[in-house]
Amino acid sequence: MNYDIAIIGLGPAGCTLARLLSPSFKVIALDTKLQTEDEGFHKPCGGLLVDDAQRSFVRQNLNLPADILTDPQIFSVKTYDLQTKLIRNYQRSYVSFDRHKFDLWLKSLIPSKVTILHNTLCKEVRRIIDGYQITYIDENKTEHNITTQYVVGADGANSLVRRMRYPQHTIRQYVAIQQWFTDLHPNPFNSCIFDNESTNCYAWSISKDGYFIFGGSFPKKIANEKFEQLKEKLATQGFIFGKPLKTEKCLVVYPNRFGDFHTGNENIFLIGEAAGFISASSLEGISYALDSAEILSKILNSGNPNPNKCYYQRTIPLRLKLYSKIVKAKLLTTPLWRKLIMKSKVQYIEQYWIT
């Protein structure tokens, strides 16, 4: 074998695993992103770090550098229900950051002993005796093969590792669309929008560094049409869009059943969104990417003789928590339940207006 471990994808999950693995392993990590701030693939993201992700950073003894943060830091989310016309303000302790800078920073923390191939696409993962053969295309468009004992699929929502090795384990995927506008609102705000006529998931807006980012997650075939329809509706609710400066699109996993989560087998491991680890109620996924990578690193570092079984078992609490998010999502996207929750005014903060 050329390597002990091959990590496919260096988002938060892959970077965290590469950082936490013992230096005794020979590790290679492949990632399609470029190492520059402006060019190449940028992951569409709200760039909000929730409490759970902040907790993972505490555990991993990491602090967020200030140059990754964005302005302003907003402590509430205005929730709109377009069916009942209810609007509620809920407190949230999110840290707002620039997602691409965040990814590059996480990559910069990977020890130099790990071989990193940037701008490299993994094309195939093939079973061979005692391990796997990985075929990849490097930045010069040349094809190469390497062999490895373990493969880690950290390649996100449209994971090639999951699709190739577990084609029977499909998972519900939606299309996330985000558009960037110059922020013309008198007061920057973050919002969460429910509109069952547009999607049975949800939409959001975020004010960041002078931009107003509007996004939503929609069933694949009708995504563009529903996104535009929702914008038209919100324009009548005080949202100011103007001319889009940038449009981003990507697949996002939207888990629906406990069986949607898949941790891998036969020396293949899935971590982060590739495993289906993302909250169905908020589409928050960074905390699960960090946590699943940390769990796997501990198992591999300990030399456990049955790492797949152990990873499956130790992610049970994480998967149960994610299942509770599926239940929460079903409640929040059901108009009657949502109305009752919002009408109850639980955790609602009334805003103070100077007249």
Least distance to ligand FAD from the beta carbon of 216, Å?
9
Whole-angstrom distance, CA of residue 5 vs CA of residue 301: 11
SS3 63: coil
Alpha-helical segments (H) within the chain: 12-20, 51-59, 99-108, 160-165, 223-235, 286-301, 307-314, 316-332, 335-344
Which tokens sit at 179? 């558009």
Binding ligand FAD by CB under 6 A: which of 5, 6, 14, 234? 14
Q: Is 270 in the site for ligand FAD (CB under 6 A)?
A: no
Show the binding pattern over residues 87-106: x = contacts ligand FAD (CB under 6 A), - = does not.
--------------------
The DSSP code for 271 is -
Whole-angstrom distance, CA of residue 290 vs CA of residue 157: 15
Q: Is 116 in the site for ligand FAD (CB under 6 A)?
A: no
Contact 97, 69 (CB under 8 A): yes
Q: Is 44 in the site for ligand FAD (CB under 6 A)?
A: yes
Which tokens sit at 155? 């390649």
Least distance to ligand FAD from the beta carbon of 344, Å?
26
Q: Is 68 in the site for ligand FAD (CB under 6 A)?
A: no
Least distance to ligand FAD from the beta carbon of 15, Å?
7
C-alpha angle 272/278/279, rounded to 5°? Answer: 155
* Nearer Cβ to ligand FAD (12/255): 12
Whole-angstrom distance, CA of residue 347 vs CA of residue 355: 25
Q: Is 125 in the site for ligand FAD (CB under 6 A)?
A: no
Closest residue to ligand FAD, based on beta-carbon distance: 285
* Nearer Cβ to ligand FAD (286/300): 286
Which tokens sit at 25? 């392993």
Q: How far is CA 232 from CA 210, 228, 240, 319, in A?
A: 22, 6, 10, 37
Least distance to ligand FAD from the beta carbon of 92, Å?
11
Residue span binding ligand FAD (CB under 6 A) among the ranges 54-62, 71-79, 258-266, 273-281: 273-281
* Nearer Cβ to ligand FAD (10/192): 10
Q: How far is CA 205 from CA 77, 91, 99, 328, in A?
A: 9, 15, 15, 21
Whole-angstrom distance, CA of residue 276 vs CA of residue 299: 20
Which tokens sit at 190? 């973050």
Residue span binding ligand FAD (CB under 6 A) among the ranges 29-37, 140-148, 305-313, 338-346: 29-37
Binding ligand FAD by CB under 6 A: which of 11, 255, 264, 276? 11
Q: Is 192 in the site for ligand FAD (CB under 6 A)?
A: no
* Nearer Cβ to ligand FAD (87/164): 164
Nearest C-alpha neighbor of 46 from the set 241, 215, 181: 215
Binding ligand FAD by CB under 6 A: which of 6, 223, 286, 295? 286
Whole-angstrom distance, CA of residue 64 vs CA of residue 59: 13
Q: Is 160 in the site for ligand FAD (CB under 6 A)?
A: yes
Least distance to ligand FAD from the beta carbon of 273, Å?
4
> Do the strands 3-8 and 27-30 form a parallel or antiparallel pair, or are they unpaired?
parallel
Least distance to ligand FAD from the beta carbon of 164, Å?
10
Whole-angstrom distance, CA of residue 317 vs CA of residue 263: 13
Q: Is 250 in the site for ligand FAD (CB under 6 A)?
A: yes
- Residue count, binding to ligand FAD (CB under 6 A): 40
Single-letter code of the amino acid located at 284: E
List residues near ligand FAD by CB under 6 A: 8-14, 30-33, 41, 43-48, 50, 53, 121-122, 154-156, 160, 176, 178, 215, 250, 252, 272-274, 278, 283-286, 289
